[in-house]
Amino acid sequence: MLFVEISEDSEDFGLKVTCNLCVRKSRINIEREGVKSGQEQQAQKMVSLSNSRLSAVDIGTNVVVRVPDLDRGRLAPRNVLAVVADVNSSGLYLLGTKEGLLERLYARNEFTTADNNFIDAHDVPSGSLSLRSASMITSGNKQEFISCHCKRYCIDKKCKCLSKNMRCSCVNLTAPAKINELRQCSSLGLRYVYFL
């Protein structure tokens, strides 16, 4: 069923006829504009509240960035020391470590200021890296956690540990390592039982 809204038009000699769908559409557009302005006011209020709680940080200030649990390795530290390298017009910070600039920009609530100055802004190289790799490099932990799942020995380059030149993390050591282990046990007078 179609309803029409009739209103008098002073300029024309007749009546202006508007269907119910057009009236509903215009009311929806008015509500959308109201919601949009309300969201903008709420965003401005949140930004001003955040700026009042967290003061702006100057370029060259040392900060501590928390590394998310998903990006952190098992032995990597929870935080990374960085220095503020640049601030853009929207209030986002470009941070740098001794290894390079961090790839993304950070908001003020994603880091805290450090008590001491450990890094100078001119010590930061121009290369970029992710927060996870910066965390692993600063900790000195370049270990990757791999397991090869070999059935006997890690002999050829098909094994993950030998292809990456790393010590095997599984029980199956390489054949020369097993032989050396057997020799050490026999020199100590221990009896070593080994099943293939």
pLDDT at residue number 191: 46
The predicted pLDDT at position 195 comes to: 40
Q: Give the largest Cα separation in the chain, rounded.
A: 118
pLDDT at 69: 83
| Rounded-to-integer distance, Cα 47 and Cα 108, Å | 11
Query: What pLDDT score does 146 carry?
Result: 53
Query: What is the b/e burial string over 132-171, where b = at least 16 CB atoms within 10 angstroms of the residue's CB?
Result: bbbbbbbeeeeeeebebebeebbeeeebbbbeeeeebeee
pLDDT value at position 174? 47
Q: What is the pLDDT of residue 192?
A: 41
Flag residues of the chain having pLDDT under 50: 171-175, 182, 185-186, 188-196
pLDDT at 147: 56
